[in-house]
Chains A and B, each alone.
Chain A
């Protein structure tokens, strides 16, 4: 079956602009995670959804970052007033609730100029 998909694969934006990153999880996976991976680093947790609700958003760095999952499937990560420090690969993962097996998408590479 299809894995986790993320769009766009690459996004270049200017400082101060608004961006939306989309994640399509594996069908039937109720848990969805967003991570951010900077160059040479491991992924860092941002937010975790169980169904439609954010069960843990402790990793969001500030209030410029927001994520939604209105129907419990597709999720969108929204970044307002982008800064150059937001440049990174944004990874989405999904899993069956309670499972240790998180399946990652290929990521969206965000570059803020």
Chain B
């Protein structure tokens, strides 16, 4: 079983919809949680990160972490066709070891 599980999709939504993307994880030592966006044939781009449990908002994006359930979410409001990409969750423990453990990514398609 993978440390980080993520539904690969694809997820198709109409423009303007609210999108919910989720990951579950098994390693309780994870403390930092990130969301990356990856366009086709490009490198991942960091959208936002949170530390421990709680919510964080940045424009149309909101990240939520529930450590008690080992569950993280990314919400996208007023989705746009330009949001069509693969969304990767990633996480790491504290300490000097900075390697990230990624989910498989969810492919999102926002249609007109």
Q: Which residues of A contact B (CB under 8 A)?
A: 4, 31, 33, 35, 40-45, 48, 50, 55-56, 58-59, 91, 93, 95, 98, 100-107, 109
Contact = CB atoms under 8 A, between A and B. Distances in A.
B93 to A, nearest CB: 12
Interface of B: 4, 6, 8, 32, 34, 36, 41-46, 49, 88, 90, 92, 96-105
Given A40-B8, A100-B34, A31 B98 contact: yes
B88 A55 contact: no
Nearest to A4: B43
B105 A56 contact: no
Contact of B98 (A40, A91, A98, A109): A98
A91 B43 CA distance: 7
Contacts of B103: 42
Nearest to B44: A104
Contacts of A93: 43
A90 B98 CA distance: 18
B90 A42 contact: yes
Given A41-B104, A42-B90, A43-B88, A104 B8 contact: no
B43 A105 contact: yes
30 contacts: A4-B43, A31-B98, A33-B98, A33-B99, A40-B8, A41-B104, A41-B105, A42-B102, A42-B104, A42-B105, A43-B88, A43-B100, A44-B102, A48-B97, A55-B97, A58-B99, A59-B99, A98-B98, A100-B32, A100-B92, A101-B46, A101-B49, A102-B46, A102-B98, A103-B46, A104-B36, A104-B43, A105-B43, A106-B41, A106-B43
